[in-house]
């Protein structure tokens, strides 16, 4: 089942009514709206004047709905996750924490190979050359000690967008703003799936930063980034203004969880594919498998 994404960019009062999410607007400007909580995968709270009840937060967490808050620049900056995401959480976390260094290096090798392969396929779909990426994807070694991931990313973004002055930089010219927003949504999707698989999003296989609470999410989302790039590329091609991240652009980017991807030879919504990826990661930690399941673009 595809879970829905709700975006709140205007002042609103959010509560529960008859086990549903109830939305009321200031001074009765609009009629009350109710939405079944079980249908929700993500709730994005952008406006600074949104009021939400603790009862609603509790039910959203119980439903494993990702509640995403935004900062004053309207970019996602917070993610509410459940304390218990899986019935076997303690056992699963133990396997994760006990994972050997050689296993982590092998998992990162698979992750980088899948990312570069997807980047190469995306360039090819756009009629651009990708021979270097295809070669680098096959040359990645355990742990990616030669840093193919960074070289591939630099080459990829140099050739992807036909936008004057563009380089991949969080504070750079558009469409960097769209990429930032899309990657933030993707990060929340990944963290939600990791929690549902009983894993710790903060303990990575490659990323290590004591100030980063989502190191593992940053690892696992890497091969999925080209899907965000693909959506942003399509937006750029429309010729619409990109400097301001308006509601219409955000609406497009909030469709990322429902994007169709191919994983294990079958079509699946991205959010469901991510759950398959995180479950395969646990199987690797547990010892039942040595292969991470990633989508193929």
Q: Map out the domains of the chain as residue ranges.
A: 4-80, 89-286
User: Helices then strands (H, E): number in the chain?
Assistant: 10, 10
The percentage of residues in the chain with a pLDDT greater than 90, rounded to a whole number, is 73
DSSP 194: H
- Global confidence as pTM: 0.89
| Calpha distance 165→162 (Å, rounded) | 9
The tens digit of pLDDT for each residue in 23-62 reads 998 876 678 899 999 999 889 999 889 999 999 999 998 8
| Calpha distance 124→192 (Å, rounded) | 31
Q: How many CB atoms lie within 10 A of CB 138?
A: 10
Distance of CA 241 to the CA centre of its chain: 24
In this structure, what token pair is assigned to residue 150?
């960074």
86, pLDDT greater than 80: no
66, pLDDT greater than 90: no
Residues with Cβ within 8 Å of residue 90, at least 6 apart in sequence: none
pLDDT value of residue 109: 98
**Which CATH architecture group holds 89-286?**
Up-down Bundle (1.20)
pLDDT value of residue 139: 96
The tens digit of pLDDT for each residue in 12-25 reads 999 999 889 999 98
Instruction: Classify domain 4-80 at the CATH topology level.
Output: Ribosomal Protein L15; Chain: K; domain 2 (3.100.10)
Nearest to 280 by CA among 132, 110, 60: 110
Q: Which residues pair with 40 in a beta bridge?
A: 4
pLDDT value of residue 72: 82
DSSP per-residue codes, 71-120: -TTS-EEEEE--S--STTHHHHHHHHHT--HHHHHHHHHHHHHHHHHHHH
Give buried/exposed letters for 268-296 (b at 16+ CB in 10 A, else e).
bbbbbbbbbbbbbbbbbbeeeeeebbbbe
273, pLDDT greater than 90: yes
Q: Which residue has the higher pLDDT, 75 or 176?
A: 176
pLDDT value of residue 29: 65
The tens digit of pLDDT for each residue in 135-191 reads 999 999 999 999 999 999 999 999 999 898 899 998 899 999 999 999 999 998 999
19 is in an annotated binding site: no
59-to-80, 189, 248 alpha-carbon distances in Å: 12, 19, 29
207 is in an annotated binding site: yes
pLDDT value of residue 28: 67
Q: Is the peptide bond before 176 cis (omega within 30 degrees of 0)?
A: no
- The mean predicted confidence, pLDDT, of the chain is 92
Q: Which residue has the higher pLDDT, 256 or 70?
A: 256
In the chain, which ranges are E strands?
4-8, 12-17, 20-24, 33-36, 40-45, 50-52, 66-70, 76-80, 260-263, 266-269
pLDDT value of residue 82: 76
Q: 24 phi and psi, to 5 degrees?
A: -120, 145
| Calpha distance 145→149 (Å, rounded) | 10
250-to-156, 178, 231, 241 alpha-carbon distances in Å: 24, 8, 12, 13
75, pLDDT greater than 80: no
Q: How many CB atoms lie within 10 A of CB 77?
A: 12
pLDDT value of residue 261: 96
286 is in an annotated binding site: no
164-to-45, 167, 199, 230 alpha-carbon distances in Å: 33, 9, 42, 19
Q: How many CB atoms lie within 10 A of CB 115?
A: 26
128, pLDDT greater than 70: yes
């Amino acid at each position: 089942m595809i879970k829905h994404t709700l975006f709140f960019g205007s002042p609103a009062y959010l509560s529960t009514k008859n086990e549903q999410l109830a939305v009321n607007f200031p001074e009765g400007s609009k009629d009350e709206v109710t939405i079944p909580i079980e249908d929700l995968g993500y709730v994005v709270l952008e406006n600074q004047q949104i009021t939400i009840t603790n009862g609603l937060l509790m039910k959203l967490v119980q439903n494993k709905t990702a509640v995403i808050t935004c900062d004053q620049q309207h970019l996602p900056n917070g993610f509410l996750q459940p304390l218990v995401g899986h019935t076997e959480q303690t056992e699963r976390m133990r396997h994760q924490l006990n994972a050997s260094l050689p296993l982590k290096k092998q998992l990162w090798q698979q992750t980088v190979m899948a990312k570069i392969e997807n980047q190469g396929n995306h360039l090819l779909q756009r009629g651009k050359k990708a021979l270097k990426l295809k070669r680098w994807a096959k040359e990645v070694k355990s742990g990616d000690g030669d840093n193919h991931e960074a070289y591939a990313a630099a080459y990829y973004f140099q050739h992807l967008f036909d936008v004057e002055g563009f380089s991949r930089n969080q504070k750079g010219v558009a469409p960097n703003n769209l990429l930032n927003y899309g990657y933030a949504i993707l990060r929340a999707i990944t963290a939600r799936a990791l929690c549902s698989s009983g894993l710790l999003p903060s303990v990575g296989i490659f990323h290590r930063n004591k100030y980063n609470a989502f190191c593992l999410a940053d690892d696992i989302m890497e091969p999925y980034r080209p899907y965000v790039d693909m959506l942003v590329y399509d937006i750029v091609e429309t010729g619409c203004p990109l400097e301001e991240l308006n509601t219409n652009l955000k609406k497009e980017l909030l469709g990322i969880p429902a994007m169709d991807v191919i994983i294990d030879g079958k079509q699946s919504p991205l959010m469901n594919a991510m759950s398959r990826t995180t479950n395969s990661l646990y199987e690797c930690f547990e010892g039942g498998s040595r292969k991470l399941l990633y989508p193929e673009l």
